[in-house]
Amino acid sequence: MSVRQLRAAVVLVALLVGAATAWGHAFLERADPRVGSTVRTAPAQVRVWFTEALEPAFSTLEVVSQSGERVDLGAARVDAASPTLLQVGLKALGPGAYRVKWRVLSIDSHVTAGDFAFRVSEGP
């Protein structure tokens, strides 16, 4: 292989690697309350951060109790100042287990979905 062919191969590999990383998906990065956590004080909202900016019109977030009742206030929204943050307000939560369900569309047009649980403890 000549030096010219080697350089062309290196450039091609660099372009392919760059393109692959640009076509990523929005994956869950962190959440508040944290995934799988037990909290003493019921949160007023759930906030979820993703690895990519989100399309607000096509991204949803809901919270349900262990009996399947929705306990969020609806109207989940992407934060205008931080387009990777999706958040929703909550009704007053009592002790128990809750499941957060999300489905998001990243600005690169990839859909991802998932869920996680957290628990509100019964007392101090």
Q: Tens digit of pLDDT for each residue in 67-122? A: 999 999 999 999 999 999 999 999 999 999 999 999 999 988 899 999 999 999 98
Binning pLDDT at 50, 70 and 90, where does residue 24 land?
low
CA distances to 18, 26, 74 from 8, in Å: 15, 32, 53
For residue 8, pLDDT beyond 50: no
* CA gap 18, 114 in Å, rounded: 27
For residue 1, pLDDT beyond 70: no
Give pTM, 2 decimals: 0.79
Residue 99 backbone dihedrals phi, psi, to 5 degrees: -120, 130
Rg (CA), the chain: 20
Q: State the Cα torsion 70-100-45-85 to the nearest 10°.
A: -130
For position 70, what pLDDT does the model report? 98
CB-side exposure of 103: number of CA atoms within 13 Å? Answer: 4
Residues in the chain: 124
Contact 56, 77 (CB under 8 A): yes
Query: What domains, with CATH codes, occur in the chain?
Result: 25-120 (2.60.40.1220)
